[in-house]
Structure 1
């Protein structure tokens, strides 16, 4: 068993610091949650001169913070969020939320959603001391690369400022006759802002728009008229109010797109006035002044049953040589209804041959209706190519590369297997994008693959022998590139009854070289097979460190010359960053500290970096470095009030399980810990938590689990053990790890009161909690959130969020049985708490919500009714229409209070609340809380 002097020293220092502050701090409670702040939406300007982030309380108005890396000055924009810097770094575009209190008053007054206050848009110019603001903004886009335009589409009910000219009010008003009600408008006011010239142009009745990344290519669609719309497609000409009509007709246009350079445009159009609309595609190239229909409803390019799909937004290849679009079955004519509602039949027919069961089909119905076949148009040649012949054949498009071949996948032959197998199988095809011809490359494949930039090879990972292969596209010859004598490329952490997947793929260096991960390293692979694989990283002083590539520029396809890496020390749980030079092969460990370091970002045109750093005691605030981590500066200070509250500490612990496994876990110490006192302890678990040693846990309402910082602040120990699983023994595996770990903590920390211990877990942790209380009386109280209590009934149950049958979880997934119900029925029974409910002696609180999409809530009902029948103390919380983990803040606050009252009563001598004593009758629902 390892003894870590380094951790002991750190822990002693923390304990000393806690004792010095023990007389000054106050314990956390749920009344202070609202003011706790988060930092999000972090951006850095391309020139590295500015950083911005959102500083939000859990309830109330937030702020957009702006920091100058040169002057070190801060600026604050009230209620700002979703910010983006200008490409040249000279300004900032951001949204502005309505005042929280004002919006809440409107909601309390019952104002309809569409009439509530809407977001505004702000544009700040750093060098001009100017800010523009626009009210009621629905959508906006700025030219993201080198353009200077900002396009703004307002909400439909936006009213521009009225003309202040004097009008004659003495004339009598005419009484207007009632006119037929107009159809609801889907158009709005539209503005174009030239960010260089500070000029604004306005337009009316705009339905949608498109803006290119370069060269200020801008088009928008105006819809005018009532019963029959007239469509005008307008192109902006880089001068205020200077625009050209490039297309006009009676009908409706939608899905406008530009190529990246703003030279070519396309959109969909229909002249149909009925609800059954058949679409055509219009196009305009670099040389033309007008857009023309290039694909109409009777084109010989596709069968008469198909037309252009309205649900596939056309997409140009980055070089502009190809325009991808979708085809779909024409909508069917609906005959006039001749039956009343009482005469119609509504049913679902389940068929054993269905690839997807009916609930899954119904969940995916809208997605299936919107599926499209993929096709492509080549402007220079003027020809079309169909790339898929059914809407379930998925073409993997990458507009950044102009490759002759594309990859297509077909999952349909294997859909049925997904009901009981964890793997998602596909037939993988090579598709010639110039002819549409396809060739089968790999059959029944379920692992990672990636087409090389030249499209000459397919790089893929084989689950059968845990190795990387390359497949020659032309002759289908396979070459094995790695093997397990080199390094471990399969996930050592995998402990479900299924093949272990790879550690991952980092990217392409060039057309022939790719980078993949082993557990610790980056490896360079030559997919042509001419060179052996090369290990690119080296472990510092033999330490167990993993390196992973951080993609800091999503616009680039190939890996950069300098690879920025994250580092994680598996023994110490420390982390940091490193850099690897691809040309020289040299690497440098920038920083690796006893902290969790994340969120590295770099200015595109400067060596200015920002990152987040956290520990259990320290919020993950934002830090800045301008000299490769020689010096770093904290630039955000989200929660200065934390110093006023009592905060616990955490220690990494290890022990030997009952099964002989070396395990780790975290022991969180109570605030103001004293060796002369004893404390209650809650054991919380899921699968593994030791890697969270330096994770900060902000106080916030519970979605399903205890808030560790809150409990340690109020005088609890919290123990989070790692669990190592064996199939088909998930319950016994949990017992062997959790109980052995708990006993080890009792032996080594005498201040833990063995008579005041509780259990808590959610979902998979909820199942394990339910199983443990049937096997041990070690705990005085337990809370199980969304537990599976009966694996025999849950096996054939439905995950209602996806509509999938749950069997795959048991045969090959997290539930770890490794066989069907009929192959190993006894394992399902032995791992089901329900069949051992008579052994339970621990008071149990259950949460099973009636809209849980992962674990059917009847699993909680089964266990509750079994314990109730056996006269065991049990309570069940059912949050109405709530999902697996709570999302409504009111529900989360309620659960937080009830869970605290439950544990405080059993473990800390607090009074028993009314809801536990006598319950809350249905007749009092909504009127009494029982607190």
Structure 2
């Protein structure tokens, strides 16, 4: 051994000892590597999470986030036992698994090697599998020892017996079965111990009921063939309705078994030339809703032969005042007139028109007594569809006794909602920005939100269209109170007018800066009983932390869990005792958790991405500064996990609109479809800055400048960013903003601009290739935020168009725009490239042929991710230049030489 070898071994031993003394931190850190393309294709997601009825079992699948058509990866169905913490894995293509017998069993269907579907029963918790051998389907009824299903008995040609359906009731343990033949529509009630069914007979059907095993009693015997075919049944009231031949309508009861005739449709005198298209009976059984059509028009349509077009040429005619431009007509958006709607009072036998054919009727379905109905009419605004974000409508009330109509609201954007009792309709007026109530007894409209004293509309809404309301949280069970949101709290509004509005949450949200909202789950409701509780989210608007709380109808809040996370509830068990949910933040993936319904005793079910520990990650923090409008501005700052404030790092400024609310969102490293992933960049030694942008209508570009440039200079002042090492990236709407910024400042070393609008004039007058919709609405009402037509604000449209200021761009540009972009015309991005080419400024245009607004092809995503990183690395890290940036790729080289290799300097 040479002296040099001995010295090397000494240094190795010293390093090992030092590592051990430091708790192994150096060796662990040294093993971590930056995220790369391979990592982007290895991250997994959790699909179809669910929980069993009793809450004992959690089911889910795990699959790759990045779709790979060549992958032969198994995606087994996992059954996690919350008691033992063990799992059962079911491989193969399994149809939906269902639990039965109080979670002591499960069943599913799966094809065998010959493609024949078979049903398998799984004994739990052992996992022992058995095949269901019987001909009928396996349909266990919870709470009973039976499987109950219908099977078809084929026609017996020998004995001349026609085919019929047989209801098979099979005992799960003994496997002994009995059956009901010729069964039609049927319903189990009384916990599955009794049955209501239609027995099909050649001379007229029977409506029968009784214990599941019999004997059965006949409630009604029809003399009309194949009638009745169905019925409605209210198990709670043990009552129902059916009709015979859509003419005779009956009500029945199982409390005092019997049925009585409600009305005979033949007694209804229809207007001349009208035919019934549809008929519905009210829940109160007091009236009918009928849709009537022109009978002659219907017959003419049936008789008219199909007309064949002249194919010798095709003319596309655009007419200035037609309802829709041809690109929308091809999408089948023409709305044909519907039926005229009438109401028929069964007791008085009076028929009254309540809605013309061009409107949408809003019925108070819960009303016991009906005096008024509402309808919405968009016909005055139809020709404005192309420059309004959501087509407005007017609201009318109709007296059902007289047919008198009254206009009660103009230019509405969201439909009124009836209370549960049908006495009140609550309506948001977007112009006045108030909530009104419509009194279903008097027909009067009254403001119900001014007394609250706080805005009920979204105050931060910065688009030209009318600001939406914060929304409705729900109703009291009696229907006399509605719960409305303000920015923070819940307000209980008494619709009877007897009490002033009261803050259900007692101002807790506003006092603590937390927005209180219902959480979405399988048990969330819109109607609350007096003793009911509801799961709500408390989101801190300052720290972005979230809490999960329980709110009762007295306004008391109980904390269940809280932290620097975003929480999602997937499902509560049927007994409401347990639930499955996830949480996430920048470093914690959305793994599944099981817990009690109050989120106590949580158990982590999955660890979908353990490989994260092998990679350098990132951290994120919320930053605040004063922007050029002298307002507080927020943004997110992603840092490498080993960030050292004494070092200089390349900075990527990336944004869209607002991002601070995404502080606790987990970013899985994926191949890029447009923008780069902030954690991917942080892992590779970048700082990523994502400033919030709040817009002033008419000057969106300047609003972006005031927020983004001020934030970038703030980072420079703090020593976080350094001139010469700051990149910029934006896509679509932020692609527009990015193109605008580089005409106004040279603070950015390089910029990636993807799918941008660079010319607002042609952008405004363009048509979206995907929807066929003219783009006026985006400028006049929504994202582009101009707020006026091109001719009302010529100077602002011109001043906002980057293409006219391209000569002021000194920043090297990487432009991504694909020729099949369905949202922004490819010519917009190409025009910016051509301007830079004519000006002889550094610019590259990447067009992935056949791709749209986003890069979706896996190969193209991989290529784009590589080139994007190489571009930023070259300008911001000072790495060697990739050959494609130096030489380009000629038509003859496409797909042959990608030129990823780096040139020697």
After TM superposition, the structure 1 = structure 2 runs for residues 351-390 of structure 1, keeping only pairs within 5 Å, are 351-365=319-333, 368=335, 388-390=355-357
Find the partner of 1:528 among 486, 490, 496: 496
Hey, what does 1:112 align to over in structure 2?
none
Cα gap change, 1:760 to 1:419, in 2 (>3 Å): same
Q: Which stretches in structure 2 are left out of the alignment for 5+ residues?
A: 1-22, 68-72, 153-164, 178-183, 901-905
Shift of 1:925: 5.2
Supply the distance in 2 between the matched residues of 1:529 and 1:50 (Cα, whole angstroms).
48
Supply the distance in 2 between the matched residues of 1:542 and 1:93 (Cα, whole angstroms).
51
Find the partner of 1:37 among 27, 40, 44: 44
Supply the distance in 2 between the matched residues of 1:827 and 1:119 (Cα, whole angstroms).
65
Hey, what does 1:598 align to over in structure 2?
568
Q: Quick check: 2:138–2:147 contact (8 Å CA) kept in 1? A: no
For each residue in 1:466-508, what CA deviation from the matched residue of structure 2 results, as whole angstroms up to 9, or x when unmatched? 3322222343333322227633322121112343221111111
Q: SS where residue 491 of structure 1 aligns?
A: coil
Hey, what does 2:486 align to over in structure 1?
518
For each residue in 1:70-108, what CA deviation from the matched residue of structure 2 results, as whole angstroms up to 9, or x when unmatched? 333322233557555559655556677x99xx9xxxxxx
Q: SS where residue 381 of structure 2 aligns?
A: helix
Supply the distance in 2 between the matched residues of 1:17 and 1:596 (Cα, whole angstroms).
33
Task: Please tell me whether residue 46 in structure 1 is matched to residue 53 in structure 2.
Answer: yes
Find the partner of 1:791 among 760, 771, 774: 760
Supply the distance in 2 between the matched residues of 1:268 and 1:349 (Cα, whole angstroms).
51
Tell me how many residue pairs correspond in the alignment: 827
Hey, what does 2:392 align to over in structure 1?
425
Hey, what does 2:13 align to over in structure 1?
none
Q: Quick check: 2:471–2:484 contact (8 Å CA) kept in 1? A: yes
Find the partner of 1:624 among 594, 617, 630: 594
CA RMSD of aligned residues (A): 5.2
Hey, what does 1:175 align to over in structure 2?
none
Supply the distance in 2 between the matched residues of 1:821 and 1:140 (Cα, whole angstroms).
65
Cα gap change, 1:301 to 1:496, in 2 (>3 Å): same
Q: Quick check: 2:652–2:726 contact (8 Å CA) kept in 1? A: yes
Shift of 1:422: 3.6
Find the partner of 2:749 among 780, 783, 799: 780
Cα gap change, 1:555 to 1:631, in 2 (>3 Å): closer
For each residue in 1:595-638, what CA deviation from the matched residue of structure 2 results, as whole angstroms up to 9, or x when unmatched? 22222643342332332111100002222332734543322222
Hey, what does 1:846 align to over in structure 2?
815
Find the partner of 2:513 among 544, 547, 551: 544
Q: SS where residue 798 of structure 1 aligns?
A: coil
Hey, what does 1:178 align to over in structure 2?
none
Q: SS where residue 330 of structure 2 aligns?
A: helix
TM-score (ref. length: structure 2): 0.77
Q: Quick check: 1:41–1:83 contact (8 Å CA) kept in 2? A: no
Cα gap change, 1:50 to 1:360, in 2 (>3 Å): same
After TM superposition, the structure 1 = structure 2 runs for residues 291-330 of structure 1, keeping only pairs within 5 Å, are 308=277, 330=298
Hey, what does 2:836 align to over in structure 1?
867
Q: SS where residue 710 of structure 2 aligns?
A: helix
Shift of 1:710: 1.5
Shift of 1:762: 1.7
Hey, what does 1:577 align to over in structure 2?
548
Cα gap change, 1:714 to 1:408, in 2 (>3 Å): same
Q: Quick check: 2:367–2:422 contact (8 Å CA) kept in 1? A: no
Hey, what does 1:475 align to over in structure 2?
442
Q: Quick check: 2:524–2:535 contact (8 Å CA) kept in 1? A: no
Shift of 1:521: 0.4
Supply the distance in 2 between the matched residues of 1:772 and 1:191 (Cα, whole angstroms).
72
Q: Quick check: 1:323–1:378 contact (8 Å CA) kept in 2? A: yes
Task: Please tell me whether residue 566 in structure 1 is matched to residue 534 in structure 2.
Answer: no
For each residue in 1:695-749, what CA deviation from the matched residue of structure 2 results, as whole angstroms up to 9, or x when unmatched? 1111122232211221111111111011122222110111111111111112224
Find the partner of 1:713 among 683, 695, 699: 683
For each residue in 1:7-43, what CA deviation from the matched residue of structure 2 results, as whole angstroms up to 9, or x when unmatched? xxxxxxxxx9998853221221122333311123222
Supply the distance in 2 between the matched residues of 1:773 and 1:875 (Cα, whole angstroms).
15
Cα gap change, 1:824 to 1:668, in 2 (>3 Å): same
Cα gap change, 1:621 to 1:684, in 2 (>3 Å): same
Supply the distance in 2 between the matched residues of 1:629 and 1:477 (Cα, whole angstroms).
46
Supply the distance in 1 between the matched residues of 2:829 and 2:205 (Cα, whole angstroms).
57
Hey, what does 2:35 align to over in structure 1?
28
Shift of 1:409: 1.9
Hey, what does 1:273 align to over in structure 2?
none
Cα gap change, 1:833 to 1:66, in 2 (>3 Å): same
Cα gap change, 1:495 to 1:909, in 2 (>3 Å): same
After TM superposition, the structure 1 = structure 2 runs for residues 371-520 of structure 1, keeping only pairs within 5 Å, are 388-390=355-357, 392-396=358-362, 404=370, 407-430=374-397, 440-447=407-414, 449-483=416-450, 486-509=453-476, 510-520=478-488
Shift of 1:388: 4.8
Cα gap change, 1:868 to 1:548, in 2 (>3 Å): same
Hey, what does 2:579 align to over in structure 1?
609
Supply the distance in 2 between the matched residues of 1:928 and 1:233 (Cα, whole angstroms).
75
Supply the distance in 2 between the matched residues of 1:558 and 1:744 (Cα, whole angstroms).
49
Shift of 1:792: 0.9
TM-score (ref. length: structure 1): 0.75
Q: Which stretches in structure 1 are left out of the alignment for 5+ residues?
A: 1-15, 103-115, 155-189, 202-208, 223-231, 270-279
Shift of 1:300: 8.2
Supply the distance in 2 between the matched residues of 1:122 and 1:401 (Cα, whole angstroms).
47
Q: Quick check: 2:489–2:509 contact (8 Å CA) kept in 1? A: no
Q: Quick check: 1:355–1:414 contact (8 Å CA) kept in 2? A: no
Supply the distance in 2 between the matched residues of 1:319 and 1:384 (Cα, whole angstroms).
17
Hey, what does 1:734 align to over in structure 2?
704
Supply the distance in 2 between the matched residues of 1:330 and 1:558 (Cα, whole angstroms).
42
Supply the distance in 1 between the matched residues of 2:403 and 2:316 (Cα, whole angstroms).
37
